[in-house]
């Protein structure tokens, strides 16, 4: 501590009288990102929903803020035939509501190429076109191939890229070459392993970026900061003090226009194999010795390896599946899942799941982790809730007949980007009564700077070759090997239909969920 008069005055102003802004007293420790090299991004699936809603706005915003260079080549590739101008018009429409001051310059970087995913000639033509477009703009020939296409085409596109010489780094006019693969990475362990094998035929693991945009959310990244940049939480972060952990990802939307995909995936593939497992790993992992991608991925993989496999008996106790029926969300009547366009009217696809998971290691032995996710729930909300054990002995019990509530630490991921700690205090007044109060931190408190959207962050990390927020192959396969028996149980058991609990849209899930966590 610096005891100079100036510093003490500042301390008194800040801490005692709360006058100064936090910026005066806090140190900002940000990783410095290097300059971004010119690059080309080829988006396969450029006419699809993901490109329109997420990728195009993310690229434009990065361009607008100067995060990516002027010398940029963006090539949209899909089956449809259209001119560069038609493609630019499509993207412009997707950006409605954005500051368009840089549009004309950005638009001059946009091109379109019709590609058939199973045609070698199509990829040779693409390769030629890239050489022409990159001249003078991207002298090193750095390239990102973004697969925003149906997963059934991941293997063939990577194969075609390889055969056309487009996967080779620092050869054939290429600089670095990266391939971005959207979730889902397979639909079970077998298909995930097959997909990894195919990708590895032409791309090294360091060239493959398996994106999970959840990981790039600021509040998800913040879980590591909270746990490992503070000394006060870690000593409490174990079976000694934590009773249970709840990870909840609720959506108020239904299946929307993705029925075909969702009927195949269901909630377990759509949410658990990826986002929920990542939130679990971030909450449960050991501290890596350094904040480096492989060090972090190693610790996550250790968590996945420690997940207690389900026995047949366990599954009945530890898995709750549901499907939404009609109801009301935000005062508006909405149909049930089976009435949604494109859904089988007798579908038994789960839209809600609760799983109780145990992690068999020293730190977490005996602590249940409840993972809950569903569609058409009362509110869109994602939270990690750490429920601490109750005080071991309540000295208030005999006198007041009151039990002190356990402390709860809530990490709000969405929409409330917050950290909140509940604790017991005395209610003001003559009587001695307890009340629970909360200490809240809002993620944007004292911060007015720009915030990167998850896709913007993921794209910029990929350009910089940083794998921290992407899935590594072993993580994908470990999670599938854990979830395969669960999927097997809910898809192939004889009483599949009977095990599905229906819940009205707009509720908090099936009634059975109430007793699930007790």
Residues near ligand NDP (CB under 6 A) are: 45-50, 78-80, 115-117, 148-151, 182-183
Q: How many other CB atoms sit within 10 Å of the CB of residue 339?
A: 12
Tokens of 201: 């035929």
Q: How far is the CB of 268 from ligand NDP (least distance, A)?
A: 15
Q: How far is the CB of 86 from ligand NDP (least distance, A)?
A: 12
202 is catalytic: no
Residue closer to ligand NDP (CB basis): 152 or 230:
152
What distance lies between CA 380 and its chain's CA centroid? 15
Choose among 476, 480, 467: nearest CA to 179. Answer: 467
Residue closer to ligand NDP (CB basis): 271 or 357:
271
CB of 503 closer than 8 Å to CB of 352? yes
Alpha helices in 95-188 (DSSP H): 103-107, 120-134, 154-163
The angle subtended at Cα 478 by Cα 477 and Cα 480, nearest 5°, is: 65
Q: How far is the CB of 212 from ligand NDP (least distance, A)?
A: 9
What crossing angle do the helices spanning 277-284 and 218-228 adopt, rounded to 10°? 20
Burial pattern 248-270, b for ≥16 Cβ within 10 A else e, equals bbbbbebbeeebeebbebbbbbb
Tokens of 198: 């195919």
CB of 245 closer than 8 Å to CB of 386? yes
Q: How many other CB atoms sit within 10 Å of the CB of residue 75?
A: 25
Q: How far is the CB of 247 from ligand NDP (least distance, A)?
A: 19
Q: How far is the CB of 467 from ligand NDP (least distance, A)?
A: 19
Burial pattern 129-140, b for ≥16 Cβ within 10 A else e, equals bbeebbeeebee
Residue closer to ligand NDP (CB basis): 116 or 405:
116
- When CB distances to ligand NDP are compared, the closest residue is 48
Q: How far is the CB of 306 from ligand NDP (least distance, A)?
A: 28
Interatomic CA distance for residues 308 and 355, integer angstroms: 12
Q: How far is the CB of 117 from ligand NDP (least distance, A)?
A: 4
Interatomic CA distance for residues 38 and 65, integer angstroms: 16
Strand partners, 248: 372, 383
Burial (CB count within 10 angstroms: exposed 0-12, middle 13-18, buried 19+), residue 409:
buried
Q: How far is the CB of 50 from ligand NDP (least distance, A)?
A: 3
Interatomic CA distance for residues 143 and 152, integer angstroms: 23
Residue closer to ligand NDP (CB basis): 160 or 242:
160
Residue closer to ligand NDP (CB basis): 150 or 309:
150
Residue closer to ligand NDP (CB basis): 183 or 467:
183
Tokens of 74: 């963006």
CB of 79 closer than 8 Å to CB of 116? yes
Out of 202, 275, 467, 501, which one is annotated catalytic?
275
What Cα–Cα distance (Å) separates residue 216 from each residue in 3, 39, 445? 41, 21, 20
Residue closer to ligand NDP (CB basis): 156 or 361:
156
Interatomic CA distance for residues 55 and 99, integer angstroms: 16
How large is the C-alpha radius of gyration of the chain? 25
Residue closer to ligand NDP (CB basis): 45 or 506:
45
Which residues are catalytically annotated?
Answer: 275
């Amino acid at each position: 501590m610096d005891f100079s008069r100036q510093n003490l005055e500042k301390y008194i102003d800040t801490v005692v009288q709360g006058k100064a802004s936090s910026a005066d007293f806090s140190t900002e420790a940000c990783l410095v990102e290097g300059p971004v090299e010119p690059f080309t991004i080829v988006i396969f699936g450029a006419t699809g929903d993901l490109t329109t809603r997420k990728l195009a706005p993310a690229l434009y915003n990065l361009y607008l803020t100067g995060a990516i260079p002027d010398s940029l080549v963006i090539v949209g590739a899909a089956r449809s035939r259209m001119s560069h101008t038609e493609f630019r018009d499509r993207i412009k429409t997707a950006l409605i509501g954005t500051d368009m001051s840089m549009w004309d310059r950005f638009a001059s970087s946009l091109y379109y190429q019709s590609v058939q995913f199973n045609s070698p000639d199509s990829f040779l033509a693409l390769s030629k076109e890239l050489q022409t477009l990159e001249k003078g703009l991207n002298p090193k020939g750095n390239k990102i191939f973004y697969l925003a296409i149906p997963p059934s085409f991941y293997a063939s596109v990577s194969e075609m890229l390889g055969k056309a010489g487009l996967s080779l780094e620092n050869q054939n006019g290429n600089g670095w070459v990266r391939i971005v693969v959207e979730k889902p990475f397979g639909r079970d362990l077998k298909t995930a392993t097959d997909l990894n094998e195919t990708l590895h035929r032409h791309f090294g693991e360091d060239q493959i970026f398996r994106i999970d945009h959840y990981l790039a959310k600021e509040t998800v990244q913040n879980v590591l900061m909270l746990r490992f940049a503070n000394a006060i939480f870690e000593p409490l972060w174990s079976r000694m003090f934590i009773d249970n952990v709840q990870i909840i990802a609720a959506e108020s939307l239904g299946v929307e226009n993705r029925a075909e995909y969702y009927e195949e995936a269901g909630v377990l593939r759509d949410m658990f194999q990826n986002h929920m497992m990542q939130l679990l790993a971030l909450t449960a992992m050991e501290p890596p010795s350094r904040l480096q991608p492989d060090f972090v991925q190693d610790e996550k993989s250790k968590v996945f390896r420690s997940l207690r496999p389900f026995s047949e008996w366990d599954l009945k106790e530890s898995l709750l599946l549901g499907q939404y029926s009609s109801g009301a969300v935000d005062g508006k009547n909405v149909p049930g899942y089976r009435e949604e366009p494109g859904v089988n009217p007798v579908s038994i696809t789960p839209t809600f799941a609760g799983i109780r998971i145990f992690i068999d290691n020293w730190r977490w032995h005996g602590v249940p982790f409840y993972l809950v996710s569903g569609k058409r729930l009362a509110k869109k909300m994602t939270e990690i809730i750490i429920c601490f054990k109750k005080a071991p002995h309540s000295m208030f019990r005999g006198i007041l007949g009151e039990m002190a509530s356990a402390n709860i630490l809530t990490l709000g991921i969405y929409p409330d980007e917050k950290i909140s700690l509940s604790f017991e205090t005395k209610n003001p007044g003559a009587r001695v009564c307890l009340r629970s109060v909360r200490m809240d931190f809002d993620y944007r408190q004292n911060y007015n700077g720009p915030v990167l959207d998850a896709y913007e962050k993921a794209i910029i990390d990929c350009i910089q070759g940083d794998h921290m927020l992407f899935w590594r192959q072993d993580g994908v396969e470990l999670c599938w090997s854990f979830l395969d028996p669960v999927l097997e149980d809910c898809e192939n058991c004889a009483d599949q239909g009977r095990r599905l609990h229906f819940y009205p849209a707009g509720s908090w899930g099936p009634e059975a969920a109430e007793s699930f966590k007790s």
